[in-house]
Amino acid sequence: MLSSQRSLLNVLLPALVCVLALASLGVGAVHLPIPTVVDALFGGATEAQRAIVQEIRLPRTLLAATIGAMHGLSGAALQGLLRNPLAAPSLFGAPQAAAFGAVLAIATGLGDALSFALPLSAILMAFLSAFVLVAIVGRESNLLLLILAGLALSSLAGAATALALNLAASPFAALEISFWLLGSLDDRSFRHVLLAWPFMACGAFLLFARRDAFRVLSLGEEAAQSLGVNVSALRLHVILGVALGVGASVAVSGTIGFIGLVVPHLMRPLVGHDPGRLLAPSAFAGAALLLAADIAVRLIPSTSSIKVGVLTSLIGVPFFLYLVFRERRKLEAAA
């Protein structure tokens, strides 16, 4: 039964992502029906419609799909590594470090002087946080030390971001920082796509390449080591993969939370508890979720643009609380 569900998901999830992508290309101030969107993608329709679809909405849609996929994949990989259903990409500090890098570029004016400075500084800061984390804990670190060091780095990056906001040179810079931190895909271009995609591709490759090791690790670290899995190397792969992928995502979209936490839980009942098999469905489901959220923020009536990061948090916080209460009930039942 479970294998048939997985086979069906392998067809339905990519199809859902394609449908949502087409819907995303048609939604906006100028509504375009899906046949017109398809026509415009292949060079038909009017010149204005081609410009709207290919130059304005297509980069936003591509980023929504790949950023959502990266968050979903990273969350599934971290939950498999830590064998903890509450693990999320923010645990190791990469998103917070990337946010600080972007905020630093805005606060110093580099983001205005050089268009690529903001995403590039965010990516570099995320990679630096991963390097510092590995340097602190060492190659043979235990899991507890890794988590504690990651929490310390994420707290430090959050405090540095708050300090940069507090010391902003002008109210306009503070406002720009605040809006960027809310997370948004507005006004993104192919420049952002080309800058983020290589890092996200490297991160996804590192995580997918070790999917068999996640399966063995579910038996426990000692059993995994006895079966030939280098657990320390696996941790390094996951940390670097999450830092590259999520750091690049945050670099171009701002902070978009809870997708990495929520999506693996939505997929686990459908694909089973094998962490290796959870990676691909979580990536597709993450892409679908962020595409749907980005469509929703454009459809919700509002006098100002609603940020997609705000909507994902509004969805994610109640789900997170549900997970906490569910784990509490399990502990009470076991006692």
In a domain, 18, yes or no: no
Neighbours of 67 (CB within 10 A): 30
Which pLDDT belongs to residue 22? 93
Which pLDDT belongs to residue 70? 94
Our count of domains for the chain comes to 1
Which pLDDT belongs to residue 103? 85
* Cα 190 off chain centre by: 19
In a domain, 39, yes or no: no
In a domain, 285, yes or no: no
In a domain, 17, yes or no: no
In a domain, 35, yes or no: no
Q: Would you call 43 exposed, middle or buried from its count of C-beta atoms within 10 A (0-12, 13-18, 19+)?
A: exposed
Which pLDDT belongs to residue 221? 74
In a domain, 243, yes or no: yes
Amino acid letter for position 153: L
Any idea which residue has 């948004």 for tokens?
A: 184
In a domain, 54, yes or no: no
CATH number of the domain residue 121 falls in: 1.10.3470.10
Domain range for 134 = 69-268+295-334
**Tokens matching residue 91:** 């645990």
Confidence (pTM): 0.87
Splitting the chain (335 residues) into consecutive groups of 10 residues, what average pLDDT does each group show?
70 92 89 89 84 90 94 89 77 83 80 69 82 71 73 86 80 78 85 88 90 80 78 82 86 85 85 84 93 90 78 80 77 74
Q: Would you call 7 exposed, middle or buried from its count of C-beta atoms within 10 A (0-12, 13-18, 19+)?
A: exposed
Q: How far is CA 117 from CA 66, 112, 186, 313, in A?
A: 21, 8, 18, 27
